[in-house]
Amino acid sequence: MAKQRKNPTRTFLSRLIVAAACVTLPWAVGLGDAQAQPTMVIRTTDHAFTVPATVRAGFVTVQIINDGKDLHHAQIVRLNPGVTTAQALGALRQGLGAFLPLVVGVGGPGLVAPGGRASVSLTLQPGDHLLLCFVESSDGTPHVASGMVKPLRVTGAVAARPAPSVAGELVLHDFRFAMPQTLNGRETYRVVNQGVQLHEAIFLRLAPGKTVDDVKAFFSQHPASGPPPAMPVGGVQGLSRGGVNYHHPNLPAGEYVVICFIPDPGSGKPHFELGMISAVTVR
């Protein structure tokens, strides 16, 4: 795939990769055992996905296991009716402005550091999907341009099932989070996008003594210097309006930040610069 135009938000993440190389990660994320529904495991390397080409429609837990040395996430999108995989991939080569109108953001497990794991549950509707990683390597090349894009066909019908039990809700707006200030690190939370734009909810664990302001300052550096003030530990990838995922944090107690890195099409600013960043305590 040809190299895309550089995305400034993902460039922020490439700086985090470089800085993270010197940081010990004592807060590796586990997967937990709360999910009884079917599971789809996605393993990531630098730079590829290992995942079945076909999965059954319905409610499923999606797990990411990062076996690579870079940050990775598992963004799932569903192709709009009438859009072929070839058309979607052709638009992706032109950039997000051409690609996003052709798809629906379904979510997926959020950004994790090397060796990290994370999981969400969601409903996969029948149809053609793509699995993507938009993070940039330290040289500025998006992972999708290095092979981290994979078709995924969802077959069969969606069976009715009751909503899972949750401890609370994270609501994504244009441009803010509505959520509890304290979360239980072993419970499940419903994440829903009520905004017009695509939004994500990525969890970063703060390093000792660091704050939300430190995170904002770090991602504003050109270039970044020093160790990162926080490291990614999962979350929920981009959801289109009305989209729902169920986040299984499985996080140790501590101080965290929830952030949306997706850029605003009008201003080009990442959503966290418009207000989509919040501090949260995990108990």
* CA gap 167, 282 in Å, rounded: 13
Band (pLDDT 50/70/90 cuts) for residue 4 is: very low
Band (pLDDT 50/70/90 cuts) for residue 3 is: very low
Band (pLDDT 50/70/90 cuts) for residue 17 is: low
- Each residue of 74-105: pLDDT tens digit? 999 999 999 999 999 999 999 999 999 999 99
Band (pLDDT 50/70/90 cuts) for residue 16 is: low
Architecture of the domain defined by 8-158+166-282: Sandwich (2.60)
Tell me what pLDDT residue 26 has: 41
- Each residue of 148-187: pLDDT tens digit? 999 999 999 998 888 899 999 999 999 999 999 999 999 9
Locate the domains of the chain by residue range. Answer: 8-158+166-282
* CA gap 164, 34 in Å, rounded: 11
Percent of the chain with pLDDT over 70: 87
- Each residue of 103-120: pLDDT tens digit? 999 999 999 999 999 999
Averaged over 45-59, what is the pLDDT?
96
- Tokens 């090349």, residue located: 141
What is the token pair recorded at 105?
């953001």
What is the token pair recorded at 259?
């952030």
Q: Where are the beta strands (DSSP E) in the chain?
A: 39-45, 48-50, 54-56, 58-66, 75-79, 103-107, 117-124, 127-132, 149-155, 168-173, 176-178, 182-183, 189-193, 199-206, 230-239, 244-247, 254-259, 277-282
- Each residue of 203-218: pLDDT tens digit? 999 999 999 999 999 9
